[in-house]
Amino acid sequence: MTHLRSHLTAAFALAGIFMAAPAVAQSSSCQDAQKFLTERQSLIQQINKLGGEGKKKQIDPRAACGIFTKLVSNGDKGVKWITANKDWCQVPDQFAQSFTEDHKRAQNMKTQACQAAAKVAEMEKRAKQAQQQGNGLLGGGGLTGSYSIPKGAL
């Protein structure tokens, strides 16, 4: 994830370079890059918050799946825009290549997060079914927090 952040930071820096250049003969579509780059930056900040900003924190795969799904959608728009406007908007080759590589990594991370989220959901479903059927850890009604002591001589 740190690798993704470093590439995206470089991508945003390069985006600032070509977005700051005067758009004399360029169409307004060159300014459209700022929209998906801003959204992408926000999504990456959300991913960083999930990870606890440098702390080793257990990440909820369901939340990660949702954010990575949005990140991949954003990346699809970005790759499409770069392909269509690379020459016209003078997008540096390094930026285009870096963005595409980061998009592929985001797709892989999305797949992993969503698979983990599906496993968590399945485990929760099974646990709920087991609880409803009365199949606890010891074969009975499960651990309920109360235990009756038998009466009489032991």
Q: Which two tokens stand for residue 49?
A: 């918050």
pLDDT tens digits for range 78-88 = 999 999 888 88
Are 123 and 25 within 8 A, CB to CB?
A: no
Q: Is residue 120 part of a domain?
A: yes
- CB contact burial 40-50 (16+ within 10 A = b; e otherwise): bbebbebbeeb
The mean per-residue pLDDT over the stretch 86-114 comes to: 92
| Domain, as residue range, for 113 | 2-21+31-124
Question: How much is the mean pLDDT over the chain?
Answer: 76
Q: What is the maximum alpha-carbon separation in the chain?
A: 97
User: pLDDT category, 146, cuts 50, 70, 90?
Assistant: low
Can you tell me whether residue 80 is helix, strand or coil? helix
- Alpha carbon dihedral 54, 48, 9, 113, in 10-degree steps, equals 110
Q: Which residue has the higher pLDDT, 77 or 54?
A: 77
Q: Is residue 79 part of a domain?
A: yes
Q: Which two tokens stand for residue 45?
A: 């900040």
Q: Is residue 130 part of a domain?
A: no
Q: What is the pLDDT of residue 24?
A: 41
Q: What is the pLDDT of residue 116?
A: 92
Q: What is the pLDDT of residue 60?
A: 85
Are 81 and 46 within 8 A, CB to CB?
A: no
Domain count, the chain: 1
pTM confidence score: 0.65
Q: Is residue 6 part of a domain?
A: yes
What's CA 71's distance to the chain center, in Å?
6
Q: Is residue 12 part of a domain?
A: yes
Q: Is residue 137 part of a domain?
A: no
Does residue 153 carry a pLDDT above 50? yes
User: pLDDT category, 7, cuts 50, 70, 90?
Assistant: very low
Q: Is residue 141 part of a domain?
A: no
Burial class (CB in 10 A: 0-12, 13-18, 19+), 76: middle
In the DSSP assignment, the letter for residue 22 is -
Min mean pLDDT across 11-20, 36-45, 131-140 is at: 11-20
Q: Which residue has the higher pLDDT, 130 or 43?
A: 43
